[in-house]
Copies of this chain bind each other. A is one copy, B any other.
């Protein structure tokens, strides 16, 4: 009896109040398709600006709800075919800045790429816009950090946000890059 109650509770979110005889594989798929799957490390940065890790096919239906106009992709690897097809089908413009993934102490973030990407982020004609790299931690974190600097955030709050996404992978070199980033000419 105890085991039955437990089992019922565990299933509660999957099929509440659906009598067993009415369930079919098709309706199960239907139910599953209704759930949106945002990419890991997804978040809203500001009005019309989002950030995330690399989106896969599972994330496409969620991304569609954002009504994206552009994507800023910060890795050198070419964009997967499935993702390109999704962009073509939904009319999303892709901007790629090929920033190499480097591990400390050999991190060298190209300031020109971040500056170029930031100009696109600041241009509302590109909104709604998604910024992503691979994990949404370092390259994305640097770009968002520089945006925050431009928005006049104090470094404490910029690093609080950076660390929330980078977690145990937070890099001093990224934070130093943000601290030294010169925002003049971008305001």
What residues make up the interface of A, taking CB atoms closer than 8 Å to B?
A: 9, 12-13, 34-38, 40-47, 62, 151-157, 160-161, 164-165, 167, 179-180
Docked Cα-Cα span, A156 to B42, in Å, equals 12
For the complex of A and B, the 8 pairs showing the least CB-CB separation, nearest first, are A44-B44, A35-B154, A38-B157, A36-B152, A37-B154, A36-B153, A40-B160, A164-B164
How many chain copies? 2
Question: Can you list 23 contacts pairing A with B, beta carbon distance less than 8 Å?
Answer: A9-B180, A12-B179, A12-B180, A13-B179, A13-B180, A34-B152, A35-B153, A36-B151, A37-B153, A37-B156, A38-B157, A40-B160, A41-B160, A41-B164, A42-B157, A42-B161, A43-B44, A43-B164, A44-B44, A44-B46, A164-B164, A164-B165, A164-B167
Q: What is the CB-to-nearest-CB distance from A4 to chain B, in angstroms, rounded to a whole number?
A: 17
Smallest Cβ-Cβ distance to A45: which chain B residue: B44
Docked Cα-Cα span, A41 to B167, in Å, equals 13
Task: From the candidates B37, B43, B156, B179, name the one contacting A43 in the complex (CB within 8 A).
Answer: B43
User: Interface SS of chain A: helix, strand, loop or mixed?
Assistant: mixed
Interface pair B154/A43, CB less than 8 Å apart: no
Contacts of A42 in B (CB 8 A): 157, 160-161
Contacts of A41 in B (CB 8 A): 160, 164
Docked Cα-Cα span, A154 to B13, in Å, equals 11
Docked Cα-Cα span, A45 to B38, in Å, equals 13
Q: What is the CB-to-nearest-CB distance from A178 to chain B, in angstroms, rounded to a whole number?
A: 10
Contacts of A47 in B (CB 8 A): 44, 47
Task: From the candidates B35, B155, B157, B167, name the one contacting A13 in the complex (CB within 8 A).
Answer: B155
The winner among A43, A45, A152, A157 for most chain B CB atoms within 10 A is A157
